DNA sequence: CGTCACCATACCGAGCCGGTATCGATCGAA
DNA sequence: TTCGATCGATACCGGCTCGGTATGGTGACG
């Protein structure tokens, strides 16, 4: 009947004296919090807050509950921490597609380490062959990677969307163009991705209509860039990709942005994985919205 | 994540060392409890029980959790009790159709008083006009009554089913019959129920095909019985109805049993109402199944 | 080697949670 | 007084959990 979640909500509202602000602090929206407080009041058969124009204020019964709820929640947290400490550190294996980890993992890792210091994180970096970054193979628990890939049994949350561009040498006639359309380009020699690469992924990242390319297959982003530099191949990359001197990225207007995601198995994901996903989403949401 | 319900389940299992027995103690079935324990273990990232052939036994982590969980739950209960005490006694108005309260309310009241001593119960007895016993009019929170009635917006739980019989004087030719079929009876003068009576209810309780009767309308069971005794009317009653000397009840074979129910509004019912319904159902289940 | 006693798993209907969209009320300012 | 702003409340929707029934898997024991 009375559960810890509602008590946490209640404490937040009591301290903020404002349902909207409390909702923001709890990272939910106002209506569910409003409803949760109503339910708690119904459960206890007591009005906990007076609704006043500027927000809410505790009733007498609310004050009594607040006095106890704080210590109750603290005790619950201590209990949980004690059990987690007894069972030893949990481990989480994070997959990372090529260089995506560089882009986001730092920020996420900091937040995750702060919130879940008891978890030891292993990182498994995979090459361009597998955009699921080891998820499909069961090598990792959760992955930081890019869409699109065949998502059979996988779920994802978009952390950041970045337009893609064509990687060319700075002496390429296209280099001076402010933007290009892939549809307008004459045939080019696209980099080849290894056989067995996810076809959806391959189709997205190579401009060739059949998703096929030329030359030796490239297994890393760096290899692709070097192929452009040395062999005059063409490649696509996110606009924020750091490229060696001598290369430029020309925005491509007729291809949807590349979405950087955190992905996890749809079924059987542990609470630890969910926690990681939530922290990643939250960390990047703040960053994405320019500091909330 | 970790909520009080799962902790209560965990404590029950830890003390019973047996999921099945713990489920019985918690008044749920074994599979949901089994699943809840698994979820709790996943949430905490710790195995809490060893599964052994005779049941389960606590792991080291489980023992640590058990040590804290007891006091945590006790503190939660104390907190809740404190708030309830501060807000004063809650009141629950129970509707009762005519004499149904006599049949069941005693047993239910005892159980309810024991489990919810803080609630003051008011009883509102209604006449045969309204089989919803005041629910439809909003006069009561919950009702003990009999089916059938038009149940728009009402829900119910059957406490007991009792065959119905024909009430006749002991000098009536039918009095000696072991049973009768309403379909075989010649026309009789059935008691009249007041205008405005729920039509479904009226059709059930009077043998007249159109659900109509003769004479002055009867508002109570006693009036109906007196009408049979003095005016030779016919009436239907549950077989266990206590009748004055000079009347007998002949079982009727072609009418479904009368179902004694606890009924409540489908929408907006308070936790207190749900609690009453649960207690009533449980009390009567035990009685109905002859002492479980 | 069958049977029994456990727990685990697979489904299903009901309710809760969190989301978006919108309403209602109150207060301050033009 | 009316308009806008700012609260909380309400209505609806998709997803998840819960508790139920039915059934499977696996050891112990005669």
Are B166 and B234 in contact, with CB atoms under 8 Å apart?
A: yes
Paired tokens of A5: 């979640």
Paired tokens of B105: 């309310």
At B56 the three-state DSSP class reads strand
- pLDDT for the residue B58: 95
Angle, helices B4-16/B30-44, rounded to nearest 10 degrees: 110
Q: How far is the CA of B269 from the C1' of C25 (A)?
A: 26
Percent of chain A with pLDDT over 90: 26
The answer, yes or no, to whether residue A262 has pLDDT greater than 90, is: no
Among B61, B68, B271, the residue with its CB nearest the CB of A87 is B61
Are A121 and A112 in contact, with CB atoms under 8 Å apart?
A: yes
CB atoms under 10 Å from CB of B189, counted, come to 16
Q: Report which of residues A30 and B267 the model is more confident about.
A: A30
The answer, yes or no, to whether residue A29 has pLDDT greater than 80, is: yes
Check: pTM over 0.75? Answer yes or no: yes
At A124 the three-state DSSP class reads strand
Highest-confidence segment of A112-116, A145-149, B39-43: B39-43
pLDDT single digits (tens) B142-183: 888 887 877 767 888 888 888 888 888 888 777 777 877 877
A229 touches chain B (CB under 8 A): no
- pLDDT for the residue A125: 81
- pLDDT for the residue A207: 67
Tell me the pairing of strands B164-169 and B235-238.
antiparallel
Are B142 and B273 in contact, with CB atoms under 8 Å apart?
A: yes
Spatial distance between the Cα atoms of B158 and B100, rounded to a whole number of angstroms: 13
Closest-approach nucleotide to residue A16, Cα vs C1': D7
Q: What is the DSSP letter of B173?
A: G
Q: What is the DSSP letter of A253?
A: S
Closest-approach nucleotide to residue B271, Cα vs C1': C15
B104-132 as b/e, with b when 16 or more CB fall inside 10 Å?
Answer: bbeebbebbeeebeebebeebbbbbbbbb
If phi > 0 it is left, if psi is from -120 to 50 it is alpha, else beta; for residue A114 that is alpha
Spatial distance between the Cα atoms of A30 and B226, rounded to a whole number of angstroms: 62
- pLDDT for the residue A237: 84
The answer, yes or no, to whether residue A145 has pLDDT greater than 80, is: yes
- pLDDT for the residue B290: 32
- pLDDT for the residue B288: 42
At B188 the three-state DSSP class reads coil
Kindly report the backbone phi and psi dihedral angles of residue B263, in degrees, each rounded to the nearest multiple of 5, phi listed first. -125, 150
The answer, yes or no, to whether residue A263 has pLDDT greater than 60, is: yes
- pLDDT for the residue B215: 67
Q: How far is the CA of B278 from the C1' of C14 (A)?
A: 16
At A102 the three-state DSSP class reads helix
A286 touches chain B (CB under 8 A): no
Which DSSP helix (H) or strand (E) runs through B272?
Answer: helix B271-288
Q: DSSP for A26-59, please give it.
A: HTS-HHHHHHHHHHHHHHHTS--EEEETTEEEE-
Among A43, A68, A82, the residue with its CB nearest the CB of B271 is A43
Spatial distance between the Cα atoms of B15 and B3, rounded to a whole number of angstroms: 19
Size of interface A-B (CB pairs under 8 A): 94
Percent of chain B with pLDDT over 90: 26
Spatial distance between the Cα atoms of A224 and A237, rounded to a whole number of angstroms: 9
Q: Do B80 and A46 touch (CB under 8 A)?
A: no
Spatial distance between the Cα atoms of B140 and A171, rounded to a whole number of angstroms: 86
Helices (H) and strands (E) in chain B, counts: 9, 12
User: ∠ CA(A283), CA(A269), CA(A155), 5° rounding?
Assistant: 65
The answer, yes or no, to whether residue B4 has pLDDT greater than 80, is: yes
Write the CA distances from A112 to A5, A135, A273, integer angstroms: 21, 20, 11
SS (H, E, C) B65-99: HHHHHHHHHHHHHHHHHHHHHHHCCEEEEEEEECC
pLDDT single digits (tens) A169-186: 888 777 777 877 877 777
The CA distance from B269 to the nearest CA of chain A, in Å, is 10
Which residue's entry shows tokens 């009095």?
B175
Q: Which of B196, B212, B193 is nearest to B137 (CA)?
A: B196
Percent of chain B with pLDDT over 70: 91
Are A193 and A128 in contact, with CB atoms under 8 Å apart?
A: yes
Q: Do B75 and A78 touch (CB under 8 A)?
A: no
pLDDT single digits (tens) B195-231: 777 777 877 777 666 656 666 677 777 777 777 777 7
- pLDDT for the residue B191: 78
The answer, yes or no, to whether residue A291 has pLDDT greater than 60, is: no
Considering only A11-20, A249-258, B89-98, B209-218, which range has the smallest mean pLDDT? B209-218
The CA distance from B26 to the nearest CA of chain A, in Å, is 14
At B194 the three-state DSSP class reads coil
Burial class (CB within 10 angstroms; exposed 0-12, middle 13-18, buried 19+) of B191: buried
Paired tokens of A288: 């994405």
Among B2, B61, B82, the residue with its CB nearest the CB of A76 is B2
Q: Which of B128, B150, B126 is nearest to B139 (CA)?
A: B126
Nucleotides of C under 7 A from a protein CB: 6-10, 16-22, 26-27
B74 touches chain A (CB under 8 A): no
pLDDT band (50, 70, 90) for residue A292: very low
Q: What is the mean pLDDT of chain B?
A: 82
B47-78 as b/e, with b when 16 or more CB fall inside 10 Å?
Answer: bbbeeeeebbebbebbebbbebbeebeeebee
Spatial distance between the Cα atoms of A248 and B231, rounded to a whole number of angstroms: 107
The answer, yes or no, to whether residue A212 has pLDDT greater than 70, is: no
Paired tokens of B209: 């095909």
CA torsion through residues A163, A166, A169, A174, sign: negative
Q: Which of B134, B97, B105 is nearest to B121 (CA)?
A: B105
A91 touches chain B (CB under 8 A): no
Among A71, A87, A271, the residue with its CB nearest the CB of B42 is A271
Q: Which of B20, B119, B15, B121 is nearest to B69 (CA)?
A: B15
Spatial distance between the Cα atoms of A73 and B43, rounded to a whole number of angstroms: 17
């Amino acid at each position: 009947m009375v559960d810890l979640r509602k008590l946490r909500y209640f404490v937040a509202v009591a301290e903020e004296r404002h349902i909207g602000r409390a909702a923001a602090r709890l990272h939910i929206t106002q209506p569910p919090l409003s409803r949760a407080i109503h339910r708690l009041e119904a459960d206890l058969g007591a009005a906990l807050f007076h609704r006043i124009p500027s927000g809410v204020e505790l009733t007498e019964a609310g004050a009594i509950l607040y006095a106890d709820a704080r210590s109750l929640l603290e005790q619950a947290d201590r209990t949980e921490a004690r059990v987690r400490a007894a069972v030893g550190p949990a481990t989480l294996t994070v997959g990372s597609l090529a260089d995506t980890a560089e882009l986001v993992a730092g920020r996420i890792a900091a937040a995750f380490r702060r919130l879940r210091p008891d978890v030891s994180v292993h990182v498994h970096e995979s090459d361009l062959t597998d955009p699921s970054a080891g998820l499909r193979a069961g090598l990792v628990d959760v992955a930081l990677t890019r869409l699109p890939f065949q998502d059979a049994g996988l779920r994802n949350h978009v952390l950041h969307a970045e337009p893609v561009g064509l990687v060319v040498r700075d002496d390429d006639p296209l280099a001076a163009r402010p933007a290009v359309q892939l549809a307008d380009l004459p045939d080019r020699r696209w980099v080849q991705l290894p056989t067995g690469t996810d076809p959806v992924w391959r189709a997205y990242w190579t401009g060739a209509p059949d998703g096929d390319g030329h030359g030796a297959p490239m297994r890393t982003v760096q290899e692709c860039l070097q192929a452009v530099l040395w062999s005059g191949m063409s490649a696509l990359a996110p606009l924020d990709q750091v490229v060696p001197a001598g290369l430029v990225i020309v925005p491509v207007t007729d291809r949807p942005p590349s979405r950087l995601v955190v992905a996890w198995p749809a079924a059987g994901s542990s609470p630890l994985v969910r926690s990681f996903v939530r922290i990643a989403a939250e960390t990047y949401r703040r960053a994405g919205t320019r500091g909330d």
